[in-house]
Chain A
Amino acid sequence: MQRTPIREPGTTDMDAAQPNTETGDDILVRIRDMHFSRGERRIFDGVDLDIRRGKVTAIMGPSGTGKTTLLRLIGGQLAPDRGSVRVDGLEVPRLGRAELYRLRRRMGMLFQSGALLTDLNVFDNVAFPLREHTDLPEAMIRDLVLIKLQAVGLRGARDLSPAELSGGMARRVAMARAIALDPMMIMYDEPFTGQDPISMGALVTLIRRLNDALGLTSIIVSHDVQETASISDHVYVISEGRVVAGGTPDEIERSDSAWVQQFMRGLPDGPVPFHYPAPDYRQDLLDGAQEPRP
């Protein structure tokens, strides 16, 4: 694998926030008319979405609408059936392996589970991308890792193994790892689920602080409406394969769409169904009564 020296810390952090001269606009991720299905199930049905550079953009929506899938499409782990997914001017589905990997070095992703490497301790997890992609001397790697761990408040936990971390700590380590290579963009998949109020508050401010201090572009996928809205510059609500609302958190809050109101207020049922698509309930129960017992 090709190894490139790491960009100088400090000088590049802000470059990521500068508009790309090639496309000449400040939109880092541009998704147009994107369709995607898994087997029979249609997950995206014409999604249009823009992520601006330097901003924190939230993508919200009920469970199972495909938020994680959307991040995987942006990261090139899945390819859309139709439509375009552009990141920094590059059409992701058409990239070859090498180009895709080059692009991914500039984006960090936080998985729902954290996805720390269980056979490495905290320090080595954060050092992993540096060791894989750079030829930096060990002393410098050590400094960089400690800087990143300090940023997430876990410098003291460097010798713990992932099994010894709480869920919140694991996510913060994953965050330190995601910023290890000074990416231009970072994607958070459900960073807040299963957090107590204190670590939730810590994570919320951390995401905003990292974004502003490092000049990142952040995408947060979440259904913790209030927390996410409080640090986002822009919010998209997706449901049933489409973007049903987009705007600043205030605009979303004041939206008169029933979909959006249901979601932001946390009403259990409404235009966004609580149920996974299923045949008629009564009919389903009756069918069971007629079938012979196994």
Chain B
Amino acid sequence: MIDWLRSLGRDGIAVFEKIGRGNLFLLRTLAGLPEVLGRPRLLLAQLYSVGVLSLLIILVSGLFVGMVLGLQGYNTLVQFKAEESLGVVVSLSLVRELGPVVTALLFAGRAGSALTAEIGLMKATEQLSGMEMMAVDPIHRVVAPRFLAGVLSMPLLAAIFSAVGVYGGWFVGVGLLGVDDGAYWSQMQAKVDLYDDIWNGVIKSMVFGLVVTWIAVFEGYDAVPTSEGVGRATTRTVVHGALAVLGLDFILTALMFGD
């Protein structure tokens, strides 16, 4: 019993220590951002590997999610003779929820895990130590460009996801199920609000991008420097990243659309 309490206490302290380290780490990363902006080539290379390489999975997933929305939305709406509103249903679901959330989940799995593994492996092979001994701060040189690339890529990827999804829904609804083409687009234009819907979705995707990238680079940097440690850190990135996204989504939705 005492042992159990003791280990509970130890684990609790470890969790708070880690949160503290994570916050200090974020501050140091943010302090490195001006330097990154001065070296666009570092940033471009990371934008490529974090953003561009995630593009394919985002395009394909967006298309399928949009098609499913088109199908499900049509089946429900047609019962109320409201299938003209399919465009609104598809686009609102995507822009407000599925775009940011699903993109963030995919992003954690695709780019986040790669970031963690890469940084963790650099740590395990003493590359980060080596940089420190060469008087190069690895947080500025390695972490900050990756962090910024993740934060910039996420909203763009989410926007692309939603856009492709709208076309997926259009393909199923208009192309296969015979919803009126003009109604699909015009209802969408009339009902989707720039501020309430699109802007809030963009804010969500920015928050998710920041949190997922932060978790990914921190887990890599904080990994136990062995192959097992890096493996565990990669898993944690995906699990914690996904949980953080879903939890934050609830909070943000309550704040934005709650009234």
User: Do A109 and B136 touch across chains, with their CB atoms under 8 A apart?
Assistant: no
Interface membership of B254, Cβ < 8 A: no
**B128–chain A nearest beta-carbon distance, Å:** 9
User: Do B133 and A109 touch across chains, with their CB atoms under 8 A apart?
Assistant: yes
Interface membership of B35, Cβ < 8 A: yes
Interface membership of A267, Cβ < 8 A: no
**B42–chain A nearest beta-carbon distance, Å:** 11
CB-CB contacts below 8 Å: B200-255 with A: none
**B96–chain A nearest beta-carbon distance, Å:** 39
Number of A-B pairs whose CB atoms are under 8 Å? Answer: 55
**B126–chain A nearest beta-carbon distance, Å:** 4
User: Do B134 and A128 touch across chains, with their CB atoms under 8 A apart?
Assistant: yes
User: How many B residues touch the partner, as a band?
Assistant: 10 to 19
In the complex, what residue of chain B is closest to A103 when comparing beta carbons?
A: B135
User: Do A115 and B137 touch across chains, with their CB atoms under 8 A apart?
Assistant: no
Interface membership of A158, Cβ < 8 A: no
User: Do A77 and B129 touch across chains, with their CB atoms under 8 A apart?
Assistant: yes
Interface membership of B178, Cβ < 8 A: no
CB-CB contacts below 8 Å: A127-146 with B: 128-129, 132-133
User: Do B127 and A117 touch across chains, with their CB atoms under 8 A apart?
Assistant: yes
User: Do B137 and A111 touch across chains, with their CB atoms under 8 A apart?
Assistant: no
In the complex, what residue of chain B is closest to A101 when comparing beta carbons?
A: B135
User: B131, B133, B136, B137: which has the most chain A beta carbons within 10 Å?
Assistant: B133
Residues of A within 8 A of B131 (CB): 117
Interface membership of B189, Cβ < 8 A: no
User: B35, B127, B129, B135: which has the most chain A beta carbons within 10 Å?
Assistant: B135
Interface membership of A75, Cβ < 8 A: yes
In the complex, what residue of chain A is closest to B133 when comparing beta carbons?
A: A109
How far is it, in angstroms, between the C-alpha of A105 and the C-alpha of B131 when the chains are bound? 11
**Contact mask for chain A residues 107-125; partner B; CB cutoff 8 A; 1 contact, 0 none:** 1110111011110000000
Interface membership of B182, Cβ < 8 A: no
Given contacts A128-B136, A132-B134, A132-B136, 6 further A-B contacts (CB under 8 A): A1-B137, A77-B129, A104-B132, A104-B135, A117-B122, A133-B135
Q: Can you name 8 A-B pairs with beta carbons within 8 Å?
A: A1-B35, A75-B133, A101-B135, A104-B135, A109-B133, A129-B135, A132-B135, A177-B134
